[in-house]
Amino acid sequence: MVKEKIKTLTAGKLNNGFTFIELIVVISLISTVLFFSIPRLQNVLGFDNTKKVSRWILTTVRFLKKSAVADQKRHILHVHLDANRLWITNESMSGSEIQHAEEKGYRLPDDVRISDVEYSNKGKISFGTADISFYKNAYSDHVWIHIVDDHNRSLSFLIEPFQSKASLFENYVGFEG
């Protein structure tokens, strides 16, 4: 009699759980919802690589304009178009410090690249390194930085000599246009 009660209780616990098919259906529904919502959520929350690069450029330009005046030194934003890398130096850095800054510079994500840097007085640079200066007298070079992603979406950043921050345009804009 004791053995029969144990079997009945064990069998009762099995009947109160979920079946394997019910679990599969629920997991499939959750997976489908996540499949469609995560890409949209990433764009809304700013996980898009072009947005990360944009934030970095806008923040760095503002920082460099303030630092040049505060430190009373010329600061330089180096844009290496071939290596897809940006780094910062100033006029008082030694050769080894400049090399270290280049090695530790900001590397753009693989799906975003710098297409060119356009100066108001020097023209367009499409390869090699472009140097953008921020002077201690509170002005900078007049420059457009153009980036493009794998989907051929272009962003343009205008650095104006006497503005404290850069402007962002969601298409390719230059001095000629």
Q: What is the pLDDT of residue 108?
A: 93
Mean pLDDT over 129-136 rounds to: 95
Q: What is the pLDDT of residue 42?
A: 57
Mean pLDDT over 15-39 rounds to: 82
Burial of 26 from C-beta contacts in 10 A (0-12 / 13-18 / 19+): exposed
4 — pLDDT class (breaks 50, 70, 90): low
Instruction: Return the half-sphere exposure (C-beta side, CA atoms, 13 A cut-off) of residue 45.
Output: 7
Cα distance between residue 2 and residue 153, in whole Å: 74
Q: Which among 134, 127, 53 has a CA at the least distance from the CA of 89?
A: 134
Cα distance between residue 147 and residue 54, in whole Å: 9
Of residues 43 and 55, the one with the higher pLDDT is: 55
Mean pLDDT over 64-88 rounds to: 94
34 — pLDDT class (breaks 50, 70, 90): confident
47 — pLDDT class (breaks 50, 70, 90): low
Q: Which among 46, 82, 49, 75 has a CA at the least distance from the CA of 60?
A: 75
**H or E stretch including 85?**
strand 85-90
Whether the pLDDT of residue 36 is over 80: the answer is: no
* Least confident range of 7-16, 113-122, 146-155, 168-177: 7-16
**H or E stretch including 132?**
strand 129-134
- Identity at 35, one-letter amino acid code: F
Average pLDDT along the chain: 86
Quick one: fold of 49-169? minor pseudopilin epsh fold (3.55.40)
Whether the pLDDT of residue 89 is over 80: the answer is: yes
168 — pLDDT class (breaks 50, 70, 90): very high
Of residues 93 and 16, the one with the higher pLDDT is: 93
Distances (CA, A) of 120 to 60, 129, 132, 175: 21, 17, 12, 7
Question: What percent of the chain has a predicted confidence (pLDDT) above 90?
Answer: 62
**H or E stretch including 30?**
helix 20-45
The ranges assigned to domains in the chain are 2-45, 49-169
Of residues 177 and 20, the one with the higher pLDDT is: 20
